Structure 1
Amino acid sequence: MNFDTDLLFRLVDVFGVFANAVLGGAVARTKGFDAIGFVILAICSGLGGGMLRDVLLGVGFPVALTDPLYLSSALVGAGVAFVLDFGRGWARRALLVGDALAMGCWSATGAAKALGAGLAWLPAIFLGVITAVGGGMLRDILVNQVPSVFNGPLYATVSAIASAEMVLLRSVDQYALGMGLAILTGGVLGLLARWRQWTLPAAAQWTVPRPRVRKLFRSRARPPKGRLF
């Protein structure tokens, strides 16, 4: 019996759309939005990153618009979030697991599509990260919040690692291994970053204080007139 890896990756991909759509709906619930607000935030959260990637690549219509399963999953996620509260408990944890796995999957997919379009390795990693974090950024911007990717637990960093893994392994014709490793990396490191609250250092922690040159010269005693030293 042959194991269909493509089917597994597609299931992770679609479940990630659903999970992120529910997370978008959960944000809509905290804001007191109506049904339209739930739908808009769910679609942006679940499909925004992939749509941004496809628009930047200019390879035709975004996959979210040509494959009915993706948009349907986002709408189902919006409906589920509208009638159920996923703000805490095991349901919330399950969604976060799905989000972490999908982050790795989307990172690898974005990087692979960029390479397939003829881009070099660095833009491929960039598009992998855009695919993974773009939806959440759009969701946060729509509700007038600073995107959590800027100051929350490591997310874009983990996505960059997963994207780099796909770029490296695809260069040696190991697409399936790259996808699997990226999903594993996204799942493990993503959940650890949330659990341990790993973050990158802020600018203030690295800023070198400027020497107060003007004050230094003002504080030095002036030599008497007629003397050079």
Structure 2
Amino acid sequence: MSDLSEAVIEASRFLDLTGVLSNAILGGVVARNERFDAIGFATLAIVSGLGGGLIRDTLLQKGTPIALTDPAYIVTALVGAAIAFLIPVQGRSWNVVFPWVDALALGTWAVAGATKTLAVGLGALPAVLLGAVTAVGGGAVREILLRQVPSVFGGNTLYATPALLASGLLVLLDRLGHPTVGLAVGTLAGAGLMLLSRWRQWQLPEAYHLEPIRVWRRRPPSKDRQGPPDKGRQGRGNR
């Protein structure tokens, strides 16, 4: 693993908090649609904004999750909840802005999660995996709380794939000695692929619904298909 400079770590933290704010606002928008009160807004904002990072840090087992030790994370999530609570972020303008906010959150979180995984000494594959978990984990937990099938499982435009691309590019460029470039390229590539998939309606292929193989069953021959009696067999049977 390449040595990550303080500047890269600070840039990663900034991107992480940007993702927290973006997803907290998205959680607040969902709370408004569900007609939740202020507690509901705060809960969905915190789950959406901090869920992926909490899952990542718990899996890394390198101390208390940063969302619980750095006050900026919870404060940022609550700010996102307050924005969604006080400002009716909906309508045509929101429909234009929402895809960009969602894509920005996904891209920033993917590279931030991958960067932190590399920083604790894990390899490329865990970094790509936990980068994607950081990006999609909060939204998945939020949808589970609302008794919905997580959108990351399919049935919609690309979601987890852009996160994997973003974290993969971060890991690749980090290995090549350009971690700072990896932060920018990974974020833009992940967000760009997500926006492009929305525009082009790209989806991953679903499994074909094949009929089960019919098991052969022995059936007695019909009378009209039976041949003439076997005289020899009859004779042996009469003995």
Q: Give the structure 2 partner of residue 170 of structure 1.
A: 174
| Mapped partners of 2:212, 2:45: distance in 1 | 46
How do 1:25-44 and structure 2 match up within 5 A? 25-44=28-47
- Deviation of 1:11 after TM superposition, in Å, equals 4.2
| Mapped partners of 1:112, 1:178: distance in 2 | 9
Q: Give the structure 2 partner of residue 185 of structure 1.
A: 189
3-state SS in 2 of match to 1:14: helix
- Deviation of 1:186 after TM superposition, in Å, equals 1.7
- The one-letter amino acid paired with 2:148 is Q
- Deviation of 1:48 after TM superposition, in Å, equals 0.8
Structure 1, unpaired ranges of 5+: none
Return the match for 2:140 from 117, 137, 140.
137
| Mapped partners of 1:115, 1:10: distance in 2 | 14
3-state SS in 2 of match to 1:214: coil
Aligned partners of 2:15 and 2:112 also within 8 Å = no
- TM-score, with length taken from structure 1: 0.85
Aligned partners of 1:102 and 1:186 also within 8 Å = no
Cα deviation digits, residues 174-197 of structure 1 (max 9, x gap): 111111111111221111222332
Q: Give the structure 2 partner of residue 103 of structure 1.
A: 106
What is the number of equivalent residue pairs in this alignment? Answer: 220
Structure 2, unpaired ranges of 5+: 1-6, 231-239
- Deviation of 1:93 after TM superposition, in Å, equals 3.1
Q: What is the alpha-carbon root mean square deviation over aligned residues?
A: 2.5
* Deviates most, 29-38 or 84-93: 84-93
| Mapped partners of 1:218, 1:121: distance in 2 | 58
- TM-score, with length taken from structure 2: 0.81
Larger Rg: 2
Q: Give the structure 2 partner of residue 93 of structure 1.
A: 96
| Mapped partners of 1:87, 1:197: distance in 2 | 22
Q: Give the structure 2 partner of residue 15 of structure 1.
A: 18
- Deviation of 1:92 after TM superposition, in Å, equals 4.3
